[in-house]
């Protein structure tokens, strides 16, 4: 315990205090379990905020990265590299999109998507006053552009002014979107399933109405799949469940399963009418190491039937969460899809999450009153039973 306490004290003296961290120091992982430096075991139902889809210590993934480290880590985008080319081809195949730009993070992917949309509109009429419609309660990242389209004032207010001409509509309320559309509107941007905002999936009718509006008015549809993508909802990307294809989409988190990497993708039509040489760049984006991670992740998704496992386990998870909600007065209900679930509670959930941690279960929240469950995509029904047992005990306490 003394070692744990000392590391935490050292961290608080050395690191900028922008996180209220849980009071454990994690050391290693195995499968769907994490261990702290004292050897305590935790069942992980957060997966590094929906990142570690393959679970911890996947040997094939680790070996692929070790091999690439010994070969070539970085070159810059002045040159081609084989892993990036291969990763882009595979990502195109599973996403159905046509062009890929690799970034270092999800927030950077959102930045690129915003720039692409504005350049698309600029090339049409030469104006620079175009507007983007985003959604209330959304979360797209902490950089200034991504923050500008994040629909939660508490994240934005201290950093005003944001980039201009952003309007906010209500998720799943088509009329609220339509009311904001003008001749200046260049893009409509939202998460296919809102994550930080409370686990709100888009409704099929809403998706179809937005798509029709975008086609009618030559507005770009941008879907943020950073958290809900990569198989988490039962298809590689959540929009594929609806059959509503975006013009631009963003992806990250589980794309690299721990290696920092993201991407924004677009159709060929948009690619030919937006960003061109000199418009956008990144030093590290798509370097050989990050691209090797993407390559291996996409291979392992196919080889290990990851999406099939999501579709096998998710209904059982939903069933068990619904049963828990029925028997616990503190829980109002469940919402979500696939292995992206939220338990909506009658009050703040921080105490429950802390109790769960004490009992060897890692959970996170989505807002103040939603327990968010985004486990590795390799979980089994047995892991669900273990989680429910711990959570039930914490809720009763």
| Whether 113 contacts 134, CB under 8 Å | no
**What are the tens digits of pLDDT across the range 281-317?**
999 999 999 999 999 999 999 999 999 999 999 999 9
Largest CA distance in the chain: 64
Q: In 10 A of CB 227, how many CB atoms?
A: 28
**What are the tens digits of pLDDT across the range 194-214?**
999 999 999 999 999 999 999
The sign one gets for the Cα dihedral 357, 361, 362, 366 is: negative
Range of the domain at 350: 2-54+305-396
> What integer best gives the mean pLDDT of the chain?
97
How far apart (Å, rounded) are the C-alpha atoms in residues 196 and 60?
31
Percent of the chain past pLDDT 90, that is, above it, reads 98
Same domain, residue pair 235 and 380: no
Same domain, residue pair 153 and 281: yes
| Higher per-residue pLDDT: 1 or 143 | 143
Same domain, residue pair 39 and 65: no
pLDDT of residue 152 exceeding 90, the answer is: yes
| Whether 233 contacts 60, CB under 8 Å | no
Kindly report the backbone phi and psi dihedral angles of residue 105, in degrees, each rounded to the nearest multiple of 5, phi listed first: -160, 170
The sign one gets for the Cα dihedral 112, 116, 122, 128 is: negative
* Number of compact structural domains in the chain: 2
Length of the chain: 397
Same domain, residue pair 159 and 260: yes
pLDDT score recorded for residue 396? 87
pLDDT score recorded for residue 168? 98
Residue 254: C-alpha distances to residues 26, 69, 224, 242 (Å): 20, 20, 14, 21
pLDDT score recorded for residue 2? 87
pLDDT of residue 236 exceeding 80, the answer is: yes
On whether the pTM is more than 0.95, the answer is yes
Final residue belonging to a domain, choices 303, 325, 340: 303
Q: In 10 A of CB 368, how many CB atoms?
A: 11
CATH number of the domain residue 141 falls in: 3.40.640.10
pLDDT of residue 371 exceeding 80, the answer is: yes
User: What's the start-to-end Cα distance of the chain, in Å?
Assistant: 25
How far apart (Å, rounded) are the C-alpha atoms in residues 104 and 261?
4
Same domain, residue pair 111 and 246: yes
Final residue belonging to a domain, choices 261, 281, 303: 303
pLDDT score recorded for residue 339? 98
Same domain, residue pair 133 and 232: yes
Same domain, residue pair 170 and 81: yes
How far apart (Å, rounded) are the C-alpha atoms in residues 341 and 377?
13
Structure-token pair, residue 377: 């995509």
What does the pLDDT average to over 333-338? 97
What does the pLDDT average to over 144-167? 96
Place of tokens 């409509």: 188
In 3D, which of 279, 356, 286, 244 has the Cα closest to residue 72? 286
pLDDT score recorded for residue 216? 98
Final residue belonging to a domain, choices 273, 303, 333: 303
Structure-token pair, residue 222: 């941008």
Same domain, residue pair 71 and 218: yes
Same domain, residue pair 103 and 191: yes
CATH number of the domain residue 365 falls in: 3.90.1150.10
What does the pLDDT average to over 169-192? 98
pLDDT of residue 342 exceeding 90, the answer is: yes
Same domain, residue pair 79 and 36: no
| 3-class state of residue 74 by DSSP | coil
Same domain, residue pair 163 and 242: yes
Same domain, residue pair 42 and 80: no
pLDDT score recorded for residue 397? 78
pLDDT of residue 1 exceeding 80, the answer is: no
Structure-token pair, residue 373: 């469950």
Structure-token pair, residue 300: 């392992």
**What are the tens digits of pLDDT across the range 36-46?**
999 999 999 99
């Amino acid at each position: 315990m003394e070692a744990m306490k000392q590391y935490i004290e050292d961290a608080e003296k050395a690191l900028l205090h922008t996180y209220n961290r849980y009071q454990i120091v994690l050391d290693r992982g195995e499968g769907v379990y994490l261990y702290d430096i004292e050897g305590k075991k935790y069942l992980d139902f957060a997966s590094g905020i929906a990142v570690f889809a393959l679970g911890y210590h996947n040997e094939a993934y680790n070996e692929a990265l070790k091999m690439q480290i010994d070969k070539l880590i970085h070159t810059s985008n002045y040159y081609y590299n084989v892993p990036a080319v291969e990763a882009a081809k595979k990502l195109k195949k599973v996403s159905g999109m046509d062009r890929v730009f690799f970034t270092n993070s999800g927030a950077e992917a959102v930045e690129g998507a915003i720039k692409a949309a504005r350049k698309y509109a600029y090339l049409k009429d030469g104006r620079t006053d175009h507007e983007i419609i985003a959604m209330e309660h959304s979360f797209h990242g902490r950089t200034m552009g991504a923050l500008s389209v994040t629909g939660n004032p508490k994240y934005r207010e201290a950093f005003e002014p944001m980039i201009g001409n952003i309007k906010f509509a209500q998720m799943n309320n088509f009329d609220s979107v339509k009311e904001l559309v003008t001749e200046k509107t260049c893009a409509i941007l939202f998460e296919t399933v809102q994550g930080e905002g409370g686990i709100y999936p888009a409704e099929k009718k809403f998706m179809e109405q937005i798509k029709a509006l975008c086609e009618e008015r030559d507005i770009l549809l941008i879907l943020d799949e950073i958290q809900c993508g990569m198989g988490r909802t039962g298809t590689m990307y959540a929009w594929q469940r609806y059959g509503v294809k975006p013009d631009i989409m963003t992806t990250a988190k589980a794309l690299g399963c721990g290696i920092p990497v993201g991407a924004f993708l677009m159709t060929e039509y948009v690619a030919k009418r937006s960003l061109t040489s000199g418009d956008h760049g990144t030093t590290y984006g798509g370097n050989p190491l990050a691209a090797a991670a993407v390559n291996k992740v996409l291979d392992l998704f196919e080889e290990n039937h990851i999406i099939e496992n999501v579709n096998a386990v998710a209904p059982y998870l939903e069933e068990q969460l619904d049963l828990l909600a029925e028997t616990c007065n503190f829980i109002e209900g469940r919402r979500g899809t696939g292995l992206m679930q939220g338990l909506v509670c009658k009050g703040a959930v921080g105490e429950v999450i802390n109790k769960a941690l004490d009992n060897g279960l890692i959970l996170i929240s989505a807002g103040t009153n939603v327990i968010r469950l985004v486990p590795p995509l390799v979980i089994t029904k047995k892991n669900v039973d273990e989680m429910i047992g711990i959570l039930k005990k914490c809720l009763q306490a």
